[in-house]
Amino acid sequence: MTVPDSHNETPPGEPPASDMLAGRVVARVFALTDVGRSREHNEDTYLVAELETGSALDFDLGYHEITADAHGLLFLVADGMGGAASGELASSMAGALVLEELRQQWSEAPPSGQRFAEALRDATVHANTRIHQHARENPEHRGMGTTATVAGLLRDTLFVVQVGDSRAYLIREGQARQLTKDQSLMQRLVEAGELTPEEAEVSDRRNIILQALGPEAHVTVDITHQQLRRGDLLLLCSDGLSGLVKGDEMAVLATRYPDVRALCRELVALANSRGGPDNITVIAVQFEGEGLEHSLITDRVGYHAFPLAGTLNDHTREAVVMTPVDPVRSIRSDPTPRYGTKPPTREELRDAYAKRPTPVDVPLVGATPPVLEERKRALMPVYLTLGVAAVAALVWTAWQLYRG
């Protein structure tokens, strides 16, 4: 169990001691997915469900207002990869399998916060096992995978399981904070101080992710938690939205469009106005009710790790190593340009590329020298090809200058 924050003496997800929080939490929720302007198929999936009944909600007729039950609520966004049929299947399997496993784990007694987090972890790991098994048994789906951002609400606490680079944001009092960390090469380089966030945004390798559900037999999830306050807005989205619309822009639109239906539609429309090169999916959830306190000046909003065995924040063992899976599967075929339609200049890309190391230079906690050497050997043909191309470019440039 985590150590409570100084401003919150109640462990995450546990019944609050104060009588002020005796009421329930009300969630107004809407979800929307769009194929975008460049793709023929939609490989994204969303799912919203009440965990006590196990029923998934349909948003074709409008938004839902839900009073959270004792077993909590589930919100999920998944972004499939591996080609249309495989990507669609992987993301839809992720939603169905996570919900199915959560429902099977519950007894009649409501879960504690610790048990809830463990159930979310186990359900996501189970989904990975099933998707990977399906790909092994069906060669036509080899390489299928999906990101997954899985948010579970229990009482006044949100738990978020992360695999890949879909995202969760919390907007409070006009400010957006990212609750998740991308499991991507660029995020690793930024954390290592090798790249600035601005350089990572324009990198041609920004879509290399370090984990997904399905490509590998084992996955190690990240779990975070956030205590909610009255009026908080949760946004879950695929990178078809977050790659084109900044968090600050999401917060501005959330203030301008307080209705969750209008907000989702405006966010999707904005991403499409900037090219819509990828599928776009968003879930918007507004939290109200007597079960939530009003926000405090001492509140901390953002990435708060929930230390749990078998996760990236497991403090009982050595740090888990995340390395890119097979490049064909870890590099998406439809990378989303970051933030708007204006592409980076050739000079900006060249400078950004020159300042970042190759994948084998990234500090990998626990990686052994033989592993690094094997990766260097695997990448040697790529280096040779780039070298030959560079020499050819120099020769061509010299020839043009000589002719001129």
Residues with Cβ within 8 Å of 96's Cβ and at least 6 positions away in sequence, in order, are 47
Determine the angle formed by the axes of helices 113-137 and 84-105, rounding to 10 degrees. 140
Q: Average pLDDT for consecutive 10-residue bins of the chain (404 residues)?
A: 42 52 85 96 96 92 92 96 86 97 81 94 97 94 94 97 97 96 90 85 81 94 97 97 96 97 98 96 97 94 94 65 44 53 46 42 35 50 65 71 68
Q: Which residue has the tokens 């969750």?
A: 260
- Answer for the pair 74, 151: CB distance below 8 angstroms, yes or no: yes
pLDDT score at 404: 61
Determine the angle formed by the axes of helices 260-273 and 247-256, rounding to 10 degrees. 140
Q: Where are the alpha helices (DSSP H) in 289-345?
A: 327-330
- Spatial CA neighbour of 265 closest among 73, 404, 127, 59: 59
Which residues sit opposite 152 in a β-bridge? 74, 159
Sequence-ordered strand ranges (E) for 53-128: 55-56, 64-67, 73-81
pLDDT score at 108: 66
Q: How far apart are CA 159 and CA 111, in angstroms?
A: 13
Sign of CA dihedral 303, 308, 310, 313: positive
Angle (CA) 177 92 35, round 5°: 70
Strands 73-81 and 26-34: unpaired
Which residues sit opposite 76 in a β-bridge? 47, 150
What residue spans define the domains of the chain?
A: 19-329, 368-404
Burial of 18 (0-12, 13-18, 19+ CB in 10 A): exposed
Burial of 213 (0-12, 13-18, 19+ CB in 10 A): buried
Q: How far apart are CA 261 and CA 32, in angstroms?
A: 9
Strands 167-172 and 233-237: antiparallel
Q: How far apart are CA 103 and CA 107, in angstroms?
A: 9
Give me the CATH code for the 19-329 domain, please: 3.60.40.10
Q: How far apart are CA 271 and CA 373, in angstroms?
A: 41
Q: In this structure, what are the phi and psi dihedrals at residue 305, rounded to the nearest 5 degrees?
A: -65, 140
From the CB of residue 238, how many other CB atoms can be counted at a distance below 10 Å? Answer: 30
Sign of CA dihedral 278, 65, 179, 322: negative
Q: How far apart are CA 306 and CA 292, in angstroms?
A: 21
Complete DSSP assignment for 172-190:
ETTEEEE-S---BHHHHHH
Residues in the chain: 404
Q: How far apart are CA 340 and CA 275, in angstroms?
A: 8
Which residues sit opposite 80 in a β-bridge? 146
- Answer for the pair 352, 199: CB distance below 8 angstroms, yes or no: yes
From the CB of residue 90, how many other CB atoms can be counted at a distance below 10 Å? Answer: 33
Cα 378–chain centre separation = 29
- Spatial CA neighbour of 4 closest among 317, 304, 313: 304
Structure tokens belonging to residue 37: 């302007």
Strands 167-172 and 175-178: antiparallel
